[in-house]
Every structure is written in C-alpha cells, then in structure tokens.
Amino acid sequence: MAVEAKDPYSRGHSERVGRYAEKIAQRLNLPEEAREILRDAARLHDIGKIGIEDKILKKEGKLSLEEKEVIRKHPIIGENILRPLKSFSRLLEPIRHHHEFLDGSGYPDGLKEGQIPLITRILTVADIFDALTTERPYRKALSYQEAKKELKILADEGKIDRKVVEALFEIIDRGEL
C-alpha cells in the first residue's frame, strides 16, 4: 500500500501480479509452499520503489539513462528493506531478481537460465504481463492479445521462460483472469 500511495500508476499492481502468479503456479502444479512464497513475494516485489524519488517514479515520458539506472535499484532496495526481518527471508531472492532475464540481460545481477528459480521466473512473467496491460505514464495499456504478442516475442528471444508464458496463455485463453 505504501508503494501504491507513492505511485498511483501502480495501484492494484502487486495484487494483480500476485493473482496472475498464483494462477500460473497452479497451472504448473507447484506445491502450496512455493505458491505461498510466490504470493507473498508478488505483494512485496516493488517495495523498493519506496526508495525512488517521485520525480523519477512519476515521470511522464521516457526516462534518461541515469533515471533508468536509479529505477533499476528498486529490487536491491526492496531486498535491503526486508533483509532484517527473518520471516521474509524466503522472499528475498524473488524480490531481488524479478527483473532478471534468462539470457543474462536483466538486472540487478545479470543472472542466466538455471540461476533463476522457477518462482522468480513466474513472478517476472506476471509482473511484465500486468505492466503491459495497465496504463502507465509513458504509454496506454495493451489488450490481452497485444500483451500476448509481446510476451511471445520475449520468450522467442530467450528472455523469459516459455513454459511459464504458455501457462499464462492457457489461463488467458480459458478466461480465468
């Protein structure tokens, strides 16, 4: 709620990401413990945005390279906020790495393939899908079909997990969102 209070464009984002991630995890038959971690991580994945200046977070239009670098720090800020709280320790990995890509082009650590756990891969796809389908200061929301095309491109480029994307597509096609 603190992130949403700071950034009106993120209103409902974490809850939607959690809902999408939960449905993907169910489709992929993840055990309940993994789904619980995923739900909690989804709710808190952007908590680090609390540490980002409003002038950057709420900027309309394109961000400069310097501003992008500041935004890219939010996963580390989030991890640092939660690290002292022992009960959140199992959420630290997905929160820190929800912007990593399988080809190593993500951030903050440039992880690749097997270095990124399935829970984090699911969170990444759910986060991207919600970002694509909601209005942002810099662009209009895409339709589900347009978002599916964008996710397919990312999967074809080897950036996101094809199996996770296909599970999301099944959910969309069945009208379960």
End-to-end CA distance of the chain: 22
Report if pTM > 0.85: yes
From residue 158, give the alpha-carbon distance in Å to each of 95, 105, 138, 163: 21, 10, 26, 11
pLDDT digits (tens, 9 = 90+) for 64-113: 999 999 999 999 999 999 999 999 999 999 999 999 999 999 999 999 99
Q: What is residue 9's predicted lDDT score, i.e. its pLDDT?
A: 60
Q: What is residue 57's predicted lDDT score, i.e. its pLDDT?
A: 84
Mean pLDDT of 22-27: 96
Question: Which of 6, 23, 49, 140 is the catalytic position?
Answer: 49
Q: How many domains does the chain have?
A: 1
**62: annotated active-site residue:** no
What is the spatial distance between Cα 12 and Cα 55, in angstroms, rounded to a whole number? Answer: 21
- CATH of residue 54: 1.10.3210.10
Taking 70 as the threshold, does the pLDDT of residue 49 lie above it? yes
Taking 80 as the threshold, does the pLDDT of residue 10 lie above it? no
For residue 90, give its domain range: 2-173
Q: What is residue 6's predicted lDDT score, i.e. its pLDDT?
A: 66
